Amino acid sequence: MTGADRRKDMVRRIRESARPVPGAALAACYQVSRQVIVQDIALLRAAGLDVISTNRGYILNEPVAASRVLRVCHTDEQLEEELCTVVDLGGCVKNVIVHHRIYGELEAELNIRSRRDVKNFLEDLRSGKSSPLKNITSNYHDHLIMADSEETLDLIEDALEEKKMLVRDDS
């Protein structure tokens, strides 16, 4: 792997991670020293990327052009279809929120941006002893959806409505 390929993949890893990515983890992943990672980060910054170093690792400071909370309702069997609809149209499913009568609002970070993320999320659900949060509220739940534009969010909303998953507050 060339240095340019490594840096490109590092950006992808940092961008797709729900948490800061430690330099030591990147070094181990690419089988290079921590110093090589520091140099790569410097080159990425010089190329114009806003890579921020935190005490827990690296993050990218990328502005989100648009976000919207969508209320949806669907079965477990439709979970993959819902998530793929969002990511295929260019959205990111940032989280899931349920409003429970006793426990109040419960939220979990998802950061699902690609079909690979959808696949990994579904595998995690299947391999564990847990079920989706939506199951405690009769399948009703909200997602914070992030995208590059309001137009993309409109496309996502229209597609979910067409699939009869979107819940309108006025209905």
pLDDT (0 to 100) of residue 33: 96
Which residue shows structure tokens 């914070």? Answer: 144
CB proximity list for 95: less than 8 A, separation 6 or greater: 107, 108, 109, 110, 111, 143, 144
What are the structural domains, with CATH classification, of the chain? Answer: 3-60 (1.10.10.10), 66-162 (3.30.1340.20)
| % of the chain exceeding 70 in pLDDT | 98
**What is the per-residue pLDDT across 34-60, written as a single tens digit (0 to 9) for each?**
999 999 999 999 988 899 999 999 998
The mean per-residue pLDDT over the stretch 141-159 comes to 94
Residue 158: CB atoms within 10 A of its CB come to 12
* Average pLDDT of the chain, as a whole number: 92
Which residue shows structure tokens 């959205």? Answer: 91
pTM over 0.75: no
**What is the per-residue pLDDT across 116-146, written as a single tens digit (0 to 9) for each?**
999 999 999 999 878 898 999 999 999 999 9
In which band, very low, low, confident or very high, does the pLDDT at 64 lie, cut at 50, 70 and 90? low
Please tell me whether 141 is known to bind a ligand. yes
